[in-house]
Chains A and B, each alone.
Chain A
Amino acid sequence: MTFVDPRPDVSVEALQALNDDFLYFNVAGSGPTFPVAQRAAEAYRTWMNGVGMFSHVGYDSYNAELSETRADLARFIGDADGASRIALTQSATDGLNTLVASLPLGPGALIVTTAEEHPAALLPVYRRQDRGDRVRVVALRDDERFLSEVAQAFRDGAQAIVLSLVSCRTGRRLPVEAAVGLARAAGAVSIVDCAQALGQLPIEVRALGADAAVFLGHKWLHGPLATGATWVADPGRWTPSRVGWRSRTDHDLAGHMTLNDDATRFEIGTVDVAAFVGLRQALAVHRVLGARVGERVRALRAGLLQAVGDLPLDRLGRADDPTGIVVVQPRSGGGPGTRIGS
């Protein structure tokens, strides 16, 4: 039985979830779920509820659908044989919390992050200070200066870096490959937050060079809520900060446990498997659309920048950033009363 259509209708009419009178420009917060993905999730949820998840039929299907989702996500981010490097999560925040708390660092480590990060990344990094770790937040003014400050941090002994591929604050694409390269040269660990990238930019996760990367389904992929994933280059290097019955192959009453060899050691308990079926349907939509997504986003960006060009607004980020995120603020020197209206 299959619930995912590999060749869905990708017309604007078929993919539009919003009511006709609703103009929505907050995809960076949440992209409305494609109706076809919503239907796939609901069809599976209905079927599963009819057989019971912990029946032999239901649990076999539960495991099979989650396995296929890991494999499908790995293929989608360019790691064709990387299913064992994927852990399914509820969100990017979920994945970042687990990874940052699990960072394999020495005592009193210095951790580098950036001023472009979402609280989903910043707060777990700040929390490491409770263990005696130190945090350095590097600003992004231009790439050269940014990389210089990152390099300085590693000369100062930094053991890890956490940064976004695409900034939620400005829409800029950060020089991640270069920053991660600096980390690798210093023997440091790197985590890349791809929450604002997957679904609007092609991603080859191995080309990023990072030790781990975090994704989610409900923004630019237009998949169901509460779907996310973590990619970990070498799962065996990490000891998860939180574990559950899905994390282990064995345990006993003497306090021993044997964790899964693969990235599922980061998975802890029951998830909404139907949502992940819907996520695979969203990936199928993206595969059919292919390069049209990026082309259309760039064209709309150019049109928007032209349309607001005469307004008294300054743009943050660069005109040619290849993203569907445009951030503007009242023009500098526009007068003491310049403000954004409601």
Chain B
Amino acid sequence: MIKHVADESADAIRISFWALHRDSDVDALATVLSKHLAVTA
């Protein structure tokens, strides 16, 4: 779960993590992001 920030000045995602997270969590997030980020020309 991450936060989608969408208002008049931004369309962004906020990722926030703390010391409890593991390196593998970050790797998994990056993988999910790359799969879900839809880019069309």
Enumerate chain B residues within 8 angstroms of A304, measured Cβ to Cβ.
15, 17, 26, 29-30
CB distance B17 to A25 under 8 Å? yes
Enumerate chain A residues within 8 angstroms of B18, measured Cβ to Cβ.
27, 31, 199-200, 220, 222, 293, 297, 324
CB distance B23 to A340 under 8 Å? no
CB distance A334 to B14 under 8 Å? no
Of the listed stretches A38-46, A209-217, A310-318, chain B binds A310-318
CB distance A311 to B14 under 8 Å? no
A281-300 contacts to B, CB under 8 A, are 289, 292-293, 296-297, 300
Q: Provide the bound-state CA to CA distance between A22 and B39, in Å.
A: 26
A310-341 contacts to B, CB under 8 A, are 311-313, 316, 324-330, 334-335, 337-341
B33 vs chain A, min Cβ distance (A): 6
Enumerate chain B residues within 8 angstroms of A168, measured Cβ to Cβ.
14
Q: A16-B20, A293-B19, A324-B16 known; A335 and B39 CB under 8 Å? A: yes
CB distance B2 to A327 under 8 Å? no
Q: A26-B1, A327-B5 known; A316 and B16 CB under 8 Å? A: no
Q: Provide the bound-state CA to CA distance between A23 and B31, in Å.
A: 12
Enumerate chain A residues within 8 angstroms of B9, measured Cβ to Cβ.
115
A80 vs chain B, min Cβ distance (A): 25
Q: A307-B26, A329-B11 known; A27 and B16 CB under 8 Å? A: yes
A169 at the interface (CB under 8 A from B): yes
A29 at the interface (CB under 8 A from B): yes
Enumerate chain B residues within 8 angstroms of A328, measured Cβ to Cβ.
12-13, 15
CB distance A316 to B12 under 8 Å? yes
A308 at the interface (CB under 8 A from B): yes
CB distance A311 to B10 under 8 Å? no
Enumerate chain B residues within 8 angstroms of A337, measured Cβ to Cβ.
39-41
B6 vs chain A, min Cβ distance (A): 8
Across the interface, name the chain A residue whose C-beta is closest to B16. Answer: A28
CB distance B22 to A307 under 8 Å? no
Q: Provide the bound-state CA to CA distance between A335 and B39, in Å.
A: 8
CB distance B38 to A25 under 8 Å? no
Across the interface, name the chain B residue whose C-beta is closest to A115. Answer: B9
Selected A-B contacts with CB under 8 Å, 11 pairs: A25-B21, A27-B16, A28-B3, A293-B18, A297-B17, A300-B17, A304-B17, A311-B37, A326-B14, A329-B10, A341-B36
A258 vs chain B, min Cβ distance (A): 43
Enumerate chain B residues within 8 angstroms of A25, measured Cβ to Cβ.
1-2, 15-17, 21, 25, 29
Enumerate chain A residues within 8 angstroms of B28, measured Cβ to Cβ.
23
Q: Provide the bound-state CA to CA distance between A29 and B14, in Å.
A: 10
Enumerate chain B residues within 8 angstroms of A49, measured Cβ to Cβ.
none
Q: Provide the bound-state CA to CA distance between A325 and B4, in Å.
A: 13
Across the interface, name the chain B residue whose C-beta is closest to A325. Answer: B16
Q: A304-B29, A334-B39, A338-B39 known; A327 and B21 CB under 8 Å? A: no
Enumerate chain A residues within 8 angstroms of B38, measured Cβ to Cβ.
339-341
Enumerate chain B residues within 8 angstroms of A292, measured Cβ to Cβ.
19
3 closest A-B pairs (Cβ-Cβ)?
A337-B40, A307-B30, A28-B16
